Amino acid sequence: MQLAEISQLPRMILRERSPLALHSHRSRLFRVLWPVTHYLITNLFGTLGYIYFHLLNSTIVIRKENIPHQSGTLLLSNHQSMIDSFLVGLCAYYPVSLIRPSVMPWNPAAEENFYRNRVLAWLADNWKCIPIKKGRKDLRAIFKMVGGLRTNPLILFPEGTRSRTGNIGKGRLGAGFLILETWPTVIPVCIDGMDRVLPIGSVFPRFFKRIYVSYGSPLDLSEFKGKEKAKRTANALMSKVMEAIKELHREIQETKA
């Protein structure tokens, strides 16, 4: 993915700061009702999620105070299960979302999992999901991520896929180019235990598991400003991001020991 490819997308829409611009594929009625349905879905599922993660499981949240409650915040996390973005967003912004639903972040969601039918697609759009086509170069998804960062926080999983070993993999270039395009506040995030809550291949989440979510301090990426927006720069930037996530992972393992 080259940064030049992102510029092929409509610049007028890239500059759009209304969240509804990301739902341009939806009907006028959906967009009129969206502020209400988004609030209801966000806080209904947010409350159910809080009960699930904190009462039916044991979730330990570390350094929640590191998270800005503003647009232009990019939460970059390792990836263990299909519901990781639900966990990362909920632990970061609930119950603040009861008063300010706009703080709930946009998050990528695989089309084949979350857009299989109209009901799921409606729920996903109200939860501020960005549909992505797995395994394909998806410029539309990149465009929506840029737009999402201009309006609200955004969650992204730079590994691009769930880990099957528990190890943290290499960050993909797309996340690096997104940072070079938007210069957000980057917060590294590490989760641990979600591979036991919803293992790959499982349909139903499990109960009474121990989960860790650790939010790092905002990363200083100023060394990359002014450099050429190319693969080499994106690779170096993502190496720094992934090292920060690995450091959080090491801290979690020490806490568990």
pLDDT digits (tens, 9 = 90+) for 63-82: 999 999 999 999 999 999 99
pLDDT digits (tens, 9 = 90+) for 144-168: 888 889 889 999 999 988 988 888 9
Whether the Cβ atoms of residue 213 and residue 59 lie closer than 8 Å to each other? yes
User: What is the Cα–Cα distance from 135 to 110, expressed in whole angstroms?
Assistant: 10
What is the domain count for the chain?
A: 1
3 pLDDT exceeds 90? no
Structure pTM? 0.90
Residue 59: predicted pLDDT: 98
Of the two residues 70 and 23, the one the predictor is more confident about is: 70
Count CB-CB contacts under 10 A for residue 114. 19
Question: Could you tell me which residues are beta bridge partners of residue 191?
Answer: 213
Coil, strand or helix at 108: strand
Picking from 106, 100, 86, the residue whose alpha carbon sits closest to that of residue 22 is 106
105 pLDDT exceeds 80? yes
CATH number, domain containing residue 87: 3.40.1130.10
Residue that is written with structure tokens 């998804």 in the block = 141
Residue type, 192: D
User: What is the Cα–Cα distance from 31 to 226, expressed in whole angstroms?
Assistant: 39
Q: What ranges make up the beta strands (E) of the chain?
A: 58-62, 73-77, 107-110, 129-132, 154-156, 185-192, 210-215
User: What is the Cα–Cα distance from 149 to 72, expressed in whole angstroms?
Assistant: 5
User: What is the Cα–Cα distance from 93 to 46, expressed in whole angstroms?
Assistant: 9
Containing structural domain, residue 42:
3-256
